[in-house]
Amino acid sequence: RRSVLRRFLHGKPQIKINGKVYDEHPEYTNVSSTVLNLSDRSLHLKPAHPVGILRKQIEDKLNSTSNSFQLYNNFRPVVTVEENFDSLGFPQDHPGRSKSDTYYVNDKHLFRTHTSAHEVECFGNIQEFCPKVTSKTPTEKPGFLITADVYRRDEIDRTHYPVFHQMEGARVWRRSAEKCADGQEPLHIQKMRHDLAKLEKQLREESGNLVVQDDVSLEGNPKQSYMSDLEVDLCSQHLKRSIELLVAQVFNKKLESMGCKKSEAEFQVRWIKAYFPWTTPSWEIEVFWQGEWLELCGCGVVREQLLLNAGYDKDSTIGWAFGLGLDRIAMLLFEIPDIRLFWTQDERFHSQFREGQITKFKPYSKYPGTTRDVAFWLPQTQEASTLSPIHENDIMEIVREEAGDMVESVKLIDQFTHPKTNKKSFCYRINYQSMDRNLTNNEINEIQENVRRELVQKYNVSLR
Ligand code: FA5
Ligand code: MG
């Protein structure tokens, strides 16, 4: 499979992704063919796919208050390191930048790890705010929603997949310096109060059963000095109420479909302080669902440096941004037991969903699974250093590359150091199971053999 997408030009290895050719980099390139193959699926654009249905529903709801959000749904997944990290103020040593966590195309390009990679560009499109900057796609709207596939090297289990979906949201207000006559507040404060009141009214009418545990303290979660307390307060409230509105609408639909009446069913969310390099103050929101707190979204008041990067004038603007994970919400709403199902081509999955409707997934059958263990000694040279060059995500990647969606989970089940030789041994248990069909022993054995061979070839381990 690998050779299909890789090619050589004048002896230089290159990768073609969605029609564009990139030079490989000897140290950085770590993108796998599994990921390359997933990068042109655009599940979020399919109107009758759970992820597409959820995206549309949230877009409609957020634009129902005042239609302030420009929609962006077609950004390509490869972005620059600058867009994904530098423009957002990620420090050089941030763990998110490491090759064990991120799929790099080369030293300058990567598969975006979040939709925030497009914030600077989209802020720069808001015409009123940077009149000097000539964007190719200007918009009049003071906000935007970006939905896209995002990529992270990660573990393998029912809720983790190397590709998932996020929706980025943002909203800005232009500050007015002028003092108003007769003790009236500045125009932008009036505007923010007006926008907030409208949102609160809608929230009261539509989501009276939402119980919110807010965190309004700014201790350890500081505001920026160019903003007044009142500005931060109005902006934060508008941010939180906007997210509460979308969360309430999504979960109320679910409660209704489960036969609960709106007036009876309460549900809880809580705000928790968080840290992101390009927002302050920052929070995460969690929802209490079936006995567990589930993290839905990170957000905050946008740091001015980001707006300056987008071409805004100093002290001119106040804004918020959020990044919402769509897959876990979609799994819960549609009662989808395994994240791999989103990616299946099986009609028995796709025929179950309709545009605009949240319906319960009916499993078409549970195919039997089978497990295989792989145990190995690390090579002697690696044991001397405390940091092993094999990261757990590298093991995951090999299994994904060989097994594709036939792998359900990979778990470390045993690890020890030989008391005499000091050699380190690891044992991983691989669960094989297909969502679509029965697997034969022969094909699993072959995959398992390939995994073992790759471990030896790439990392020089001794199999046990
Ligand atoms: C971010 O990605 C930030 N870009 C969010 C943000 C945007 C903050 C704008 C401030 C301003 P985080 O890595 O926590 O943050 O991911 C955001 C959401 O994506 C999470 O709350 C979760 O819902 C979802 N998410 C994160 N990792 C995964 C994963 N491996 N699988 C499924 N969903 C995930
Ligand atoms: Mg998080």
Task: Please tell me the distance between residue 334's alpha carbon and the centre of ligand 1 in angstroms.
Answer: 20
Task: Please tell me the distance between residue 165's alpha carbon and the centre of ligand 1 in angstroms.
Answer: 9
| Residue to mutate, 79, 295, 324, ligand 1, most ligand atoms under 8 Å from C-beta | 295
Task: Please tell me the distance between residue 287's alpha carbon and the centre of ligand 2 in angstroms.
Answer: 14
| Contact (Cβ atoms closer than 8 angstroms) between residue 143 and residue 172 | yes
Section 83-104 average pLDDT: 96
More confident: 130 or 450: 450
Kindly identify the ligand whose nearest atom is closest to the C-alpha of 339. Answer: 1
Question: Of the CATH numbers 3.30.930.10, 3.40.190.10, 3.90.1150.180, 3.40.50.970, which one belongs to the domain with range 41-74+109-350?
Answer: 3.30.930.10
Ligand 1 pocket (Cβ < 6 Å) reads 114, 116, 152, 154, 160, 164, 166, 276, 279, 295-300, 321-323, 325, 327-328
Residue with CA closest to ligand 1 atom 19: 325
pLDDT of residue 387: 44
pLDDT of residue 1: 36
Predicted confidence (pLDDT) at residue 124 exceeds the cutoff of 50: yes
Predicted confidence (pLDDT) at residue 385 exceeds the cutoff of 60: no
E strand residue ranges, 191-248: 210-213
By mean pLDDT, which of 88-97, 103-112, 333-342, 373-382 is the weakest? 373-382
More confident: 396 or 177: 396
Residue with CA closest to ligand 1 atom 33: 325
Query: Same topology for domains 41-74+109-350 and 367-463, yes or no?
Result: no
Is residue 4 very low, low, confident or very high in pLDDT (cuts 50, 70, 90)? Answer: very low
Task: Please tell me the distance between residue 323's alpha carbon and the centre of ligand 1 in angstroms.
Answer: 6
Kindly identify the ligand whose nearest atom is closest to the C-alpha of 151. Answer: 1
pLDDT of residue 84: 98
Distance of CA 387 to the CA centre of its chain: 28
pLDDT of residue 365: 77
| Residue to mutate, 103, 157, 297, ligand 1, most ligand atoms under 8 Å from C-beta | 297
By mean pLDDT, which of 59-68, 247-256, 376-385 is the weakest? 376-385
Q: Which CATH architecture has domain 367-463?
A: 2-Layer Sandwich (3.30)
For 14-54, write each residue's pLDDT tens digit: 998 888 899 999 999 999 888 998 998 999 999 999 999 99
The C-alpha atoms of residue 164 and residue 328 are separated, in whole angstroms, by 9
Section 417-435 average pLDDT: 93
Task: Please tell me the distance between residue 151's alpha carbon and the centre of ligand 1 in angstroms.
Answer: 11
Could you state, in order of their start, the residue ranges of all structural domains in the chain? Answer: 41-74+109-350, 367-463
The C-alpha atoms of residue 18 and residue 408 are separated, in whole angstroms, by 28
Percent of the chain with pLDDT over 70: 95
For 245-297, write each residue's pLDDT tens digit: 999 999 988 888 888 876 677 889 999 999 999 999 999 999 998 899 999 99
Length of the chain: 464
Please name the residues in contact with 439: beta carbons below 8 A apart, sequence gap of 6 or more. 367, 369, 370, 406, 432, 433
Is residue 165 very low, low, confident or very high in pLDDT (cuts 50, 70, 90)? Answer: very high
Is residue 6 very low, low, confident or very high in pLDDT (cuts 50, 70, 90)? Answer: low
Is residue 407 very low, low, confident or very high in pLDDT (cuts 50, 70, 90)? Answer: very high
pLDDT of residue 2: 39
Residue with CA closest to ligand 1 atom 15: 298
Task: Please tell me the distance between residue 291's alpha carbon and the centre of ligand 2 in angstroms.
Answer: 20
What's the pTM value of the predicted model, to 2 decimals?
Answer: 0.92
Mean pLDDT estimate for the chain: 92
ipTM of the complex: 0.98
The C-alpha atoms of residue 146 and residue 168 are separated, in whole angstroms, by 5
Kindly identify the ligand whose nearest atom is closest to the C-alpha of 148. Answer: 1
Percent of the chain with pLDDT over 90: 77
The C-alpha atoms of residue 186 and residue 198 are separated, in whole angstroms, by 19
DSSP string, 89-157: T--TT-GGGSTTTS-BSSSSEEE-SSGGGGHHHHHHTBGGG-TTS--SS-BS-SEEEEEEEEE-----B
pLDDT of residue 125: 96
Predicted confidence (pLDDT) at residue 3 exceeds the cutoff of 80: no
Predicted confidence (pLDDT) at residue 108 exceeds the cutoff of 80: yes
pLDDT of residue 263: 66
pLDDT of residue 7: 67
